[in-house]
Amino acid sequence: MDTKLVVADFEDWRDAVAEAMTVLEAGEVVALPTETVYGLAADAFNAEAVAKVFEVKERPSFDPLIVHIGHKRDLDIVAEVPEELEDVVDDLIAAHWPGPLTLVLPKKADVPDLVTSGLGTVAVRLSDHEVMRAVAKEIPIAAPSANRFGRISPTSAQAVIEELGGKIPLVIDGGACRDGLESTIVAPEMTDKGPILRLLRPGPIPKEELRQIAKVVKPKRTKEDHIEAPGQVESHYAPTKPLILVDKPEDFVPEEGVKYGLLSYRGEGKSSLMEATEWAHIEVMSPGKGKLAEGAVRLFYCLRSLDAAEVDVIVSESVSETGIGVAIMDRLRRAAAGSA
């Protein structure tokens, strides 16, 4: 299969949307940009098309998909909002939609079970990217990240081509992703003490902001628990080469004859590994600035560059687990688990 690349720039992005709709309405899949990562999109109400998403990604059927909608009012097309949660859901939507927040809510009966992996809930998001939002205004879109399952998420159209070129008919190039990490996922829930937000996946919206709306709780899970939302698999976001996550410089002891690549946060500082060995390749998430937001945007790009470099092992520095640093460390830990 030839994969067509269509650029959606500021002048003709609507033409790109029209081309994407033609493919989607034919029951095929399309890679679309969002502000977080690129998504592999299908008509959420076409079970056969959704099955192609799982097939192309080699994604297990127990891992549910996010449904993208085009307007706040479209939430009731795919989800039910329990009466006792209406206020907290309204507050979340007002504060963070459009944006990188996914809500897990009871699903409408006609949402295919394949989309939700048989769960009674559906993950829903309203993207802040004009291309994804315009497509989703036409039909709700089921879209996980546009990469092979468990591998590094794509934050550019070129990364999608490298992952899925020849397997899908169309990629819409909407430029580099603004946030660079998958959306924050929360499940609103009512308790005897009031509403809470169960944080199912950390992302660009940190828990500090969510706490302004309701108490945030991180569920304790075991390997035997059912997956409730995307991104909860223990091994995920992984390069093909082994990745070691190092908390303290003294913990890293290089082995002779091994070519190491370094993923550094700032490229300097007391916690830096820059002087730990002679690195074969170095990528810096936030060059000289030490900004977590910049690190989040560059994380997957840097991992891809290191994976493509002539190194045997990738070594990553840790970052501070504050704000979006929580999401960065979540991705790094899962990447390390997936590449071991």
- Record the tokens describing residue 195, joined without a space: 């509403």
Q: Quote the CA–CA distance of 92 and 39 in Å, as a whole number.
A: 23
Work out the angle between the directed axes of helices 292-308 and 325-339 (0-180°, nearest 10): 20
pLDDT(14) > 60? yes
Q: Quote the CA–CA distance of 210 and 212 in Å, as a whole number.
A: 5
Write out pLDDT tens, residues 101-133: 999 999 999 999 999 999 999 999 999 999 999
By CB atoms closer than 10 A (0-12, 13-18, 19+), residue 127 is: buried
Q: Is 166 in contact with 185 (CB distance < 8 Å)?
A: no
The torsion of the CA quartet 184, 190, 196, 202, rounded to 10 degrees, works out to: -20
Q: Quote the CA–CA distance of 180 and 169 in Å, as a whole number.
A: 24
- Record the tokens describing residue 133, joined without a space: 């939002």
Q: Which residues contact 73 (CB under 8 A, 6 or more apart)?
A: none
Would strands 313-317 and 281-284 be described as parallel, antiparallel, or unpaired?
Answer: unpaired
Q: Quote the CA–CA distance of 18 and 107 in Å, as a whole number.
A: 28
pLDDT of residue 60: 92
- Record the tokens describing residue 243, joined without a space: 């990745």
- Please compute, for residue 149, the number of CA atoms within 13 A of its CA located in the half-sphere on the CB side: 17
Q: Is 7 in contact with 173 (CB distance < 8 Å)?
A: yes
The torsion of the CA quartet 298, 211, 218, 304, rounded to 10 degrees, works out to: -10
Better-predicted residue by pLDDT, 224 or 74:
74
Q: How far is CA 170 from the centre of its chain?
A: 20
Best CA proximity match to 294, nearest among 279, 280, 283: 283
Write out pLDDT tens, residues 278-331: 999 999 999 867 799 999 999 999 999 999 999 999 999 999 999 999 999 999
- Record the tokens describing residue 300, joined without a space: 């997957």
- Please compute, for residue 202, the number of CA atoms within 13 A of its CA located in the half-sphere on the CB side: 23
Best CA proximity match to 298, nearest among 255, 277, 328, 274: 328
Q: Which residues contact 205 (CB under 8 A, 6 or more apart)?
A: 96, 99, 100, 101, 183, 184
pLDDT classification of 39: cutoffs 50, 70, 90 = very high
Write out pLDDT tens, residues 330-339: 999 999 987 6
Q: How far is CA 321 from the centre of its chain?
A: 18
Does this model's pTM top 0.85? My answer is: yes
Q: Is 114 in contact with 131 (CB distance < 8 Å)?
A: no
Helix (H) or strand (E) holding 177, with range, is none
Write out pLDDT tens, residues 153-197: 999 999 999 999 999 999 999 999 999 999 999 999 999 999 999
Which residue bears the tokens 């900004």? 291
Q: Which amino acid is at 47?
A: A
pLDDT(221) > 70? no
How many other C-beta atoms lie within 10 A of the C-beta of residue 1?
8
Q: What is the DSSP letter of 63?
A: S
Q: What domains does the chain contain, in order, with CATH numbers?
A: 4-173 (3.90.870.10), 243-339 (3.40.50.11030)
pLDDT of residue 233: 81
